[in-house]
Chains A and B, each alone.
Chain A
């Protein structure tokens, strides 16, 4: 109890410390110049309708590459930590219900298609590579839960993961040669604003990101499941 009171005092002191962050808070009527730049010039410079996308994929593309890398590291790390055969018996506890199994077999293509739609339209609508990737991963998760006698083809997963990541880096690299810098999406023509094939390389980058993220997440899940 004494300990709890002590901890409570500590948190109160913390609250006091960060209080100015709240008390000096004003909703921005003026947004920072940098944000203005993105909002004003972004659509024309990069040709993406979704400005969050243009910030993520291009302006702050290095962060995104890093983010994909973090996920990749986590996958590798989990694989590394769980590399030794554990003592767990791998037999499933119980069979999944019939409804789940047929349902997921039916839903799977739709989920996949939706995921692909999300990451190819990242420059036009909300969402993008990450969201699409997660959706694809959740489709496969459904598959895992349904315990459908569909042996997950790890080799395919592996290839998708490796190559999508590799091509992402290659596109980034091409930016140096064909455009102004690493991860510059303007190596392809910007095209007509608002079209699927527009905004330079953004749809491609996001597709690779989507595939990469999706396969990495699946990797994490299967490693935990195994």
Chain B
């Protein structure tokens, strides 16, 4: 049973990784990369490491994504200034 869950999660993870690299839209790519961490944190739970799972979920998928988005936001504002 766990094997199947792991397989499903893993394949989802890999496909979102590929998606994160292939997507043209940066925001979508970043979200997709965040999903990887989220899925990974589920795998951590399966590996009986709740501490790590919590951290990965909070930092890997949460904060890292926010940091990415904030940066993109800054860059876009800069771009907007240049255009204007």
A and B touch in the complex (CB under 8 A): yes
Determine if A138 is an interface residue (Cβ-Cβ < 8 Å).
Answer: yes
Determine if A148 is an interface residue (Cβ-Cβ < 8 Å).
Answer: no
Determine if A58 is an interface residue (Cβ-Cβ < 8 Å).
Answer: no
In the complex formed, the residue of B with least CB distance to A222 is B70
Contacts of B49 in A (CB 8 A): 52
Stretch of B4-12, B22-30, B61-69 on the interface side = B61-69
Partner of B51, one of A52, A135, A225: A52
Determine if A50 is an interface residue (Cβ-Cβ < 8 Å).
Answer: yes
Q: How far is the CA of A127 from the CA of B74 in the complex (A)?
A: 32
Question: Interface of A with B (CB < 8 Å)?
Answer: 50, 52-53, 86-89, 126-128, 130-131, 134-135, 137-138, 141, 217, 220-221, 224-225
Residues of B29-84 contacting chain A, CB below 8 A: 49-51, 53-55, 58-59, 62-63, 66-67, 70-71, 74, 77-78, 81
Contacts of A138 in B (CB 8 A): 58, 62-63
Known: A89-B77, A221-B70. A137 touches B63 (CB 8 A): yes
Q: In whole Å, how far is B60's beta carbon from the nearest beta carbon of chain A?
A: 10
Q: What is the predominant secondary structure among interface residues of chain A facing chain B?
A: helix
Known: A87-B81, A88-B78, A224-B71. A50 touches B63 (CB 8 A): no
Chain B: residues with Cβ within 8 Å of the partner, total of 18
Task: Tell me if B62 and A134 are in contact (CB < 8 A).
Answer: yes
Contacts of A130 in B (CB 8 A): 55, 59
Q: How far is the CA of A64 from the CA of B7 in the complex (A)?
A: 33
Task: Tell me if B66 and A88 are in contact (CB < 8 A).
Answer: no
Q: In whole Å, how far is B50's beta carbon from the nearest beta carbon of chain A?
A: 4
- 7 additional contacts (CB under 8 A) given A130-B59, A217-B63, A220-B67: A52-B49, A89-B77, A127-B54, A131-B51, A131-B55, A137-B63, A138-B63
In the complex formed, the residue of A with least CB distance to B70 is A224
